[in-house]
Structure 1
Amino acid sequence: MKRRQMLKHFALATTAAMLLPSCIKDPKKVSIALSNLNVTGEEEELLAAIADTIIPDTDKPGAKTVGAHLFTLVMIDDCGNKESKEKYMRGLRAFDEACEEISGKSFSDLSVEERLTLLKKIDKNEVGLKEDVVTFYMASKQYIIQGYTSSQYFLTEVKPYQLVPGPGWKGCIAVSETPNV
């Protein structure tokens, strides 16, 4: 009798041990798979906050909503060489520290106006930042804008994309007369 109880308890404990990891969800996981970059959920949120500051949501979706920050990560992951990826990641990890030195708060704790003011100062190079941080911000800004302007929303709603050769082209026209050659 004790053996059966022990086997039941052992089977229950084994099942619980197998199911427990799938029940616990890490809320700070990166939402996309990257091959070469090791980005945390907090770093992705920081990049999303920067994207939301550069192109905010208005009556139209902003950069964060269309996923321009994810586009940025994919572009850095796929297109950069090893040195540029390392420099980008060093800048990403040092960005919040730099914000705290300048404003006394982390970037995510700043108000929208303070974020915008800080990014404008970085653009104009008014604050002395490390080269890695400036490189990170400038590359992120470039890819966020590129990601937004190449998003499905932008190309269908804001500036509709026209397929080449366009609606005025007539590819098949009957030739009524041929010129004398």
Structure 2
Amino acid sequence: MNRRKAIFRISVAGAAIIGAAGGYKWFSMRKTPNLDLLSENINLLSALAETIIPKTDTPGAAEAGVGKYIYVMIRDCTEKTEQNNFIDGLLDLQAYTFGKYAKGYEKCDADQQEQVLEHFESAGNRLSSGIIGKVKHKYLGRSFFSILKSYTVEGYFTSEAGATKALAYSHVPGSYHGCVTLAPGQKAWATN
């Protein structure tokens, strides 16, 4: 066989493999998400949120009801691509936790839970900066950990416990001061 034919056949086979992989990824992102899986795992969502914002002298994310908030936001306010990214990430997290610790995420201790989330944070941050990151974000959506973290913080600080106990709540704020230095230990402000 001559060299040109061999190179042509190898390049055609490579293009076919890349096309098939891209088609599978496109199909997996556009499929109807299994939202029942989320409703069955609200306790897992609460445990994940509690790892991100744990209970200290202020209430934690689980106490503020962030797990249910994440479920509602994913179900009602998130695009199909990101719903699939989140559900696939949740399944990957469960498989990773069972594979590494032989138990579910909720049954792991605090250090193990942090290690699991650090793994998924670093996996989500790969190729997330620059032009490649912008293209990835636009066409493939945010990563599992990015979605989890943003909904956790948003849900916590918009809850009553987060706004009144974690922030210095002022029902009727005073005048606007654009640049105010905070005293050591002073909380940020939340307004109605």
Which category describes the TM-score, using the shorter chain as reference length?
A: 0.5 to 0.7
Higher helix share: 2
Aligned residue for 2:62, secondary structure, equals: helix
Distance (whole Å) between structure 2 residues aligned to residue 76 and residue 96 of structure 1? 18
Distance (whole Å) between structure 2 residues aligned to residue 47 and residue 160 of structure 1? 27
Bigger radius of gyration among the two = 1
1:102 aligns with 2:100: yes
Aligned pair count reads 128
Q: Which digits, 9 at most, give the CA deviation of each residue in 1:36-75, with x for residues without a partner?
A: 9324554111111111111112232100000112111111
Please say if residues 155 and 161 of structure 1, whose CA atoms lie closer than 8 Å, have aligned partners that are also in contact.
Answer: yes
Instruction: For structure 2, list consecutive stretches of 5 or more residues without a partner in the other structure.
Output: 1-33, 127-139, 177-192
1:167 aligns with 2:178: no
Q: Which amino acid aligns with 2:122?
A: K
Of the candidates 73, 76, 90, which is equivalent to residue 74 of structure 2?
76
Specify the alignment match of 1:55 in structure 2: 53
**After TM superposition, which residue ranges in structure 1, 4 or more long, deviate above 6 angstroms?**
none
Distance (whole Å) between structure 2 residues aligned to residue 109 and residue 161 of structure 1? 35
Please say if residues 43 and 92 of structure 1, whose CA atoms lie closer than 8 Å, have aligned partners that are also in contact.
Answer: no
Q: Which amino acid aligns with 1:43?
A: N
RMSD: 3.0
Of the candidates 160, 166, 173, which is equivalent to residue 158 of structure 1?
166
Identity %: 28
Distance (whole Å) between structure 2 residues aligned to residue 158 and residue 124 of structure 1? 28
Aligned residue for 1:119, secondary structure, equals: helix
TM-score, normalization by structure 1: 0.59
Distance (whole Å) between structure 2 residues aligned to residue 58 and residue 42 of structure 1? 28
Distance (whole Å) between structure 2 residues aligned to residue 150 and residue 77 of structure 1? 18
Of the candidates 109, 112, 135, which is equivalent to residue 111 of structure 1?
109
Please say if residues 50 and 61 of structure 2, whose CA atoms lie closer than 8 Å, have aligned partners that are also in contact.
Answer: yes
How far does residue 103 in structure 1 lie from its aligned partner after superposition? 3.5
Q: Which digits, 9 at most, give the CA deviation of each residue in 1:6-39, with x for residues without a partner?
A: xxxxxxxxxxxxxxxxxxxxxxxxxxxxxx9324
Q: Which digits, 9 at most, give the CA deviation of each residue in 1:131-175, with x for residues without a partner?
A: x9x9223211211111111211222233234467x3348xxxxxx
Specify the alignment match of 1:67 in structure 2: 65
